[in-house]
Amino acid sequence: MTDFRIYFAGRDDIPGEFTLGRDEKLDLLLVALPGVSCSIALHITLEGEGAEVNLGGIYLCPGNERLDISVTMEHKVGGCISSQDFKGIVGGTAQVGFYGRIVVAHDAQKTEAYQADHNILLTDTAKVTTRPQLEIYADDVKCSHGATVGKLDEDAQFYMRSRGIPEAEARFLQMVSFLAPVLAMVPDETRRAELSEQLETAVRSVL
Amino acid sequence: MANDIILKISGLHAGIEGKEILRGIDLEIRKGEIHAFMGPNGAGKSTLSSVLAGKPQYTVTSGSIEYMGRDLLAMSPEERSVAGIFMSFQYPVEIPGVTITNFMKSAVNAHRRAKGQEELKAGDFLKLMKEKMAFVQMKSEFSKREVNVGFSGGEKKRNEIFQMAMLDPVLSILDETDSGLDVDALRIVANGVNALHTPEKASIIITHYQRLLEYIVPDIVHVLKEGRIVKTGGRELVNLIEENGYDGL
């Protein structure tokens, strides 16, 4: 059974350290709703073979938030999988920093480590700094990282508007759709629906 | 009769990123008419459809477009849609995370709100979806799929015609709807378009080839070249182009 935990930044006490032993599985979701400014530092250590961690993150910073997220994903032994998927919508004069470090130890062969941090920037005055860092000391690994900071897709916006969907609704749909893959990691359907509604309300407030 | 006119384009010059592509288009489309626009690549066919649908990247530098007596160029893309204009995209856009159902619910209800009607009840909406999906031979799981994500070329175009059936437009613009379609998909698409056509509506079919025009028979054919209409005729023009090419005109 995979252990699933969700933490709301600014509300919950987020533990700084997670350690996974042999065959342990953990799904972790971090959520930062509008109005939350804080620093989050996570250190996740995979020290038993077959351990697996999925780390998801959603941050909505449409105002003047200051949010810093730093993650160290440490693969101490081989045969473990880690994946990170962060999605942010940043506007106003908010400033967001994402620092994602993946460390793969010398003999942690057959490691799989993935990291993604994608951002939609709503204003020119908002700022996102995303800095992935890979330190890989083993040679037989699969690792990838990707980071983007972009605007809402104009073609998708036009496509929806050409079907009569008002501009604000088209923006809303696209933002919700952008967050959807991370939301999908919530295993319980009722809980997922609750969170989805919470995020939709938050997204509407940024339009 | 003047009130028969759905679309009137006068002296239209338009382009993108400072480059002029349409160099003086004049056109009248009346109720019941199907107009075909043919022409080589780069003639301005897709620019014309983009300008009609209101794609923001395109700029009209001079001229006017009247749609049912209204100034079309002053209308936003969504206003054009609820006023009855529909463009079937040459390259339908993928929208991950948004299901066909949610997408169409937003669109249909936006149309209804604009007309002062109440939003459709969930049951009535699903019934409408089912009926229109059958119309383009889409299976029921189609409604749960994300808009255009992982669709084949044929599915994308059938999805366009499905949306057209849902929104029931007055003026439909089919931009290269035949590109990338096999014969079966082409037939489904063409049958759909023909079934939706009434004497109160009009269509613009934009195509590079005559293939689609074997299934959807146009009343008037225009040949577009270097941003101008260089020839206008009846459906016999299609065969002439097929035999002699665009240079032979």
| DSSP states of A57-104 | EEEEE-SS-EEEEEEEEEE-SSS-EEEEEEEEEE-TT-EEEEEEEEEE
Identify all chain B residues contacting A153, using CB atoms and an 8 Å cutoff.
93
Rounded Cα distance between B191 and B205, Å, is 14
- pLDDT beyond 80 at B33: yes
Residue B73: predicted pLDDT: 98
pLDDT bin (cut points 50, 70, 90) of residue A206 is confident
Measured CB to CB, residues of chain B less than 8 Å from chain A are 53-57, 76-78, 80-82, 86-87, 89, 92-98, 102-103, 106-107, 110-111, 114, 146, 163, 167
CA-wise closest residue to B177 among B146, B227, B215, B221: B215
Q: Which chain B residues are Cβ-neighbours of A173 within 8 angstroms? A: 95, 98, 102-103, 106
Domain boundaries, chain B: 2-244
What pLDDT is attached to residue B2?
56
Contacts A161 to B, Cβ<8 Å: 54, 76-78, 81
Edge-to-edge strands of the sheet including A17-20? Answer: A17-20, A38-46, A66-75, A95-104, A127-136
Tokens of A89: 């919508």
**At residue B1, does pLDDT exceed 80?**
no
How confident is the model at residue A68, as a pLDDT? 97
Is A18 a member of any domain? yes
Mean pLDDT computed over B147-152: 94
Q: What mean pLDDT value characterizes chain B?
A: 93
Residue of A nearest to B53 (CA): A162
Tokens of B118: 């109440």
pLDDT of B83 over the 90 cut: yes
The predicted pLDDT at position A47 comes to 97
Write down the pLDDT at residue B245: 86
**Measured between alpha carbons, how far is B90 from B151 in angstroms, rounded to an integer?**
14
Whether A162 maps to a domain, the answer reads no
In this prediction, residue B161 has a pLDDT band, given cuts at 50, 70 and 90, of: very high
Q: What pLDDT score was predicted for residue B248?
A: 75
Residue given tokens 């509407």 in the structure block: A204
- Amino acid A50 reads G
Closest to B247 (Cα-Cα) out of B39, B26, B8: B39
Which structural domain, as residue segments, surrounds residue A132? 3-151
Kind plus residue range of the DSSP H or E element containing B70: strand B70-71
Contacting residues for A106 by C-beta, under 8 A, at least 6 apart: A137, A138
Place of tokens 């350290």: A17
Chain centroid to CA A131: 13
Q: What contacts A129, CB < 8 A, 6 or more positions away?
A: A95, A96, A97, A98
Residue A188 located in a structural domain: no
Chain A residues touching B159 at Cβ < 8 A? none
Contact A179 B77 (CB under 8 A): no
Q: How confident is the model at residue A49 (pLDDT cuts 50, 70, 90)?
A: very high
Calpha distance A131→A150 (Å, rounded):
15
DSSP B230: E
Are the C-beta atoms of A30 and A69 separated by less than 8 Å?
yes
3-state secondary structure of A108: coil
For the domain made up of B2-244, the CATH class stated in words is: alpha beta
DSSP H stretches of helix in B168-216: 183-196
Amino acid B184: pLDDT: 87
Q: Could you tell me which residue, B97 or B47, shows the higher pLDDT?
A: B47
Look at residue B128 and give its three-state secondary structure. Answer: helix
From the list A163, A178, A181, which residue is nearest B81 (CB)? Answer: A163
Q: What's the rounded Cα separation, in Å, for the pair B32 and B17? A: 35
How many structural domains is chain A composed of?
Answer: 1
Answer whether residue A53 is part of any domain.
yes
Give the model's pLDDT for residue B94: 93
The confidence score (pLDDT) of residue B202 equals 97
- What's the start-to-end Cα distance of chain A, in Å? 39
Look at residue A25 and tell me if it is in a domain.
yes
